[in-house]
Structure 1
Amino acid sequence: MNYKHLTVFLVILLTAAIIILGAYGFHESSKANIADLRPVLRIGAVPVESVAKTRDQFDKLITYLEKKTNWKVELFVSHDYNGIINEMAKGNLDIAWFGPFSYVLAHDRAMARAFAVEDNIRTGTVYHSVIIVHPESPISSVEQLIGRRLAFTDRSSTSGHLIPKAILRQHGVDVEKDMSEVIFTNTHDSAILAVKKRTVDASAVSDAVLFSLREKGIIGEKDYRIIYTSANIPGSVWAYREGINPTLLEKIKHSFLNVAKEDKEALGIYGQDLVKGFVPADDRDYDIIRETAKQLELVAIPR
């Protein structure tokens, strides 16, 4: 083969390679575009820990829901419950994970309707608000919190604000007048760690989150002491936005109510072996939360 023939051969070979690679790239791009044409199910959640950690924890649940619904699932993580409520009210979220109080607010402001409640291994479909202090703290009762630094979690949190505020009032403590400082940490883990580090004198948090952090080794029994435990609180719920595609809704309900037997790893968002599944939710179970919110004049939370 002379030089001229070699040049022609290389040009033909290169052209063929470009055509083949281009066709392959088009094929892969087409597949991606086809996948992107799936309808989108938008879900919302508030981080128990960091936003990045929450996204990682939701990966398996998202994969499970995509498989069961054949819809593409997109996760929106807000720094607080108010952000989730507002996005659902705008029609930007289809389902979301709420605490009891934030669910009541979302029910009124965003047409949220509960469909699945957590079934916790320790406490079933209820949980508790606990007020914790450092083990070396002299505080041993709610009344002794007067003049101290107190941490709540989120203004729309049940166990981290609504219930403990009611408890304080029942014990003659006015949060607005009697505390030296009141802060909102946004997350339960931050409030728990604030007690451990002694940046506050006491924190009001969910016992479920407290147990979760202990299971993960983030805190130990020597890092806190419980001075008060509330009565039973109805559990956190998954709720849909009224008006959602009815066929999709049935698939979503089936997915959540059967996740424990169909894909237990999808429950990893709750921590290792803390939630054993879901049971159907009943909106009437949250009437006690509505009553408490009215008594504390907390029905309207700033938007």
Structure 2
Amino acid sequence: MRPKTTALQNRPLAALPRTLIGTALAGALALTAFQASADLSSRFIDEDGDMVADSPTEASQWVDPDTLVFAYTPVEDPSVYAEVWAGFLEHMEETTGKRVQFFPVQSNSAQLEAMRAGRLHVAGFNTGGVPVAVNCSGFVPFTMMAAEDGSFGYEMEIITYPDSGIDTVEDLEGRNLAFTSETSNSGYRAPSALLRSEYGLESGEHFEAAFSGSHDNSILGVVNKDYDAAAIANSVARRMISRGVVNEGDYDVIYTSDTFPTTAYGHVYNLHPELVEKVQDAFFSYDWEGSALQAEFANSGEAQFIPITYRENWEVIRTIAEANGVTYDCD
């Protein structure tokens, strides 16, 4: 991979601030209020002002299933991640006393609807999908993966295949660019704000947009020359390289952003409070050493689960969403 344009300055992940807005994106967000307000569905109440749905006050409204259903954010081959998460889910079964089932979702919308409909209890939602999940599905994020030193995050990259004739972001004009889905931060919202504000490039006017459905699909689409370029999360690319799905020389990087928070893990708002405590304990007490989870996510620099809050850690993502005119019509 040959980096062409970058907002990073060759800094290691551990040295990166936790919630940076890149220089280019800062221009895109200059006129946007940095403190975004909650936009919860009318189904939910937020008495404590933490921007996520409160647990119901009536015990009769709590959900205490015999089987907890867990879903990881959509990927190109869900069966791979069923194996990656198997050991962790066994640990969750021991911690909660519940059977835990892996639910292989095929799209962001399917994952959101499953939690909204009460069929999904614990999940990892992709960065850009977290606000939608919070506001429309009652998702309560409480943790994400981090490096051993507590640093976390990933970068948005715009990639192309070698000898595509695309050497800079400006060269995207007249070509096609793959996004993942409209709820994705690095796969749609962040690059859209960047291209519009810094380069004057609008989808449908200056380049043709396609939606692949996942970062895996976008990366493979570029490697196979189905797409001229794609906006991706580089953490996904690193994991695909480590598994031998693609090689480093299969694509070139023409832009790299600063760091964003990564996948958030949490539970549905009406899960029984005692069960919530056990679910949280399952994440924070998990021993990564020698696990399939460690083998998979070490390639992204991740080695533990750390506590987070939606209000603090997703502020930059809410701001990017506002810059793109995103609203939530959950009802």
Alignment TM-score, normalising by the size of structure 1: 0.80
Q: Which residue of 2 aligns with 1:154?
A: 181
**Pair 1:211–1:120, CA change in 2 (3 A):** farther
2:291 to 260, 265, 287: 265
Aligned pairs for 1:88-107 (under 5 A) are 88-107=115-134
Task: Identify the range of structure 1 (156-165 vs 41-50) with the bigger mean alpha-carbon deviation.
Answer: 41-50
Cα deviations by residue, 1:151-208 (Å, 9 ceiling, x for unpaired): 11122221111111111112211013211x3211112121111111111110111110
Q: Which residue of 2 aligns with 1:19?
A: none
How much does 1:302 deviate?
Answer: 9.7
Q: Does 1:281 align with 2:308?
A: yes
Q: Are 2:75 and 2:106, in contact at CA under 8 Å, matched by a contact in 1?
A: no
Q: Which residue of 2 aligns with 1:241?
A: 268
Q: Does 1:298 align with 2:326?
A: yes
Q: Are 2:242 and 2:299, in contact at CA under 8 Å, matched by a contact in 1?
A: no
> Which secondary structure state, in structure 1, belongs to the residue aligned with residue 291 of structure 2?
helix
Higher helix share: 1
**Pair 1:129–1:182, CA change in 2 (3 A):** same
Q: Does 1:71 align with 2:98?
A: yes
Q: Are 2:129 and 2:183, in contact at CA under 8 Å, matched by a contact in 1?
A: yes
Task: Identify the range of structure 1 (150-159 vs 270-279) with the bigger mean alpha-carbon deviation.
Answer: 270-279
Q: Does 1:46 align with 2:64?
A: no
Runs of 4+ in 1 over 3 A off after TM superposition: 120-124, 268-274, 299-303
Considering Cα pairs closer than 8 Å and 6+ residues apart, tell me whether 1 or 2 has the greater RCO: 2
> Which secondary structure state, in structure 2, belongs to the residue aligned with residue 230 of structure 1?
strand
Q: Are 2:142 and 2:264, in contact at CA under 8 Å, matched by a contact in 1?
A: yes
Q: Which residue of 2 aligns with 1:29?
A: none
How much does 1:54 deviate?
Answer: 2.8
Paired residue type of 1:267: L
CA–CA separation in structure 2 for the residues paired with 1:277 and 1:123: 8
2:144 to 92, 96, 117: 117
CA–CA separation in structure 1 for the residues paired with 2:212 and 2:206: 19
How much does 1:75 deviate?
Answer: 2.1
CA–CA separation in structure 1 for the residues paired with 2:150 and 2:165: 29
How much does 1:266 deviate?
Answer: 5.4
Q: Are 1:60 and 1:268, in contact at CA under 8 Å, matched by a contact in 2?
A: no
How much does 1:120 deviate?
Answer: 4.4
5+ residue gaps, structure 1: 1-37
Q: Are 2:215 and 2:236, in contact at CA under 8 Å, matched by a contact in 1?
A: yes
How much does 1:269 deviate?
Answer: 8.2
Q: Which residue of 2 aligns with 1:32?
A: none
Cα deviations by residue, 1:46-96 (Å, 9 ceiling, x for unpaired): 332313223233322221211121101122222111111111112221111
**Pair 1:167–1:260, CA change in 2 (3 A):** farther
CA–CA separation in structure 2 for the residues paired with 1:200 and 1:121: 36
> Which secondary structure state, in structure 1, belongs to the residue aligned with residue 258 of structure 2?
coil
How much does 1:98 deviate?
Answer: 0.7
2:239 to 206, 209, 212: 212
**Pair 1:75–1:151, CA change in 2 (3 A):** same
CA–CA separation in structure 2 for the residues paired with 1:70 and 1:137: 54
Alignment TM-score, normalising by the size of structure 2: 0.74
**Pair 1:75–1:246, CA change in 2 (3 A):** same
> Which secondary structure state, in structure 2, belongs to the residue aligned with residue 52 of structure 1?
helix
Q: Are 1:257 and 1:278, in contact at CA under 8 Å, matched by a contact in 2?
A: yes
Q: Are 2:154 and 2:260, in contact at CA under 8 Å, matched by a contact in 1?
A: yes
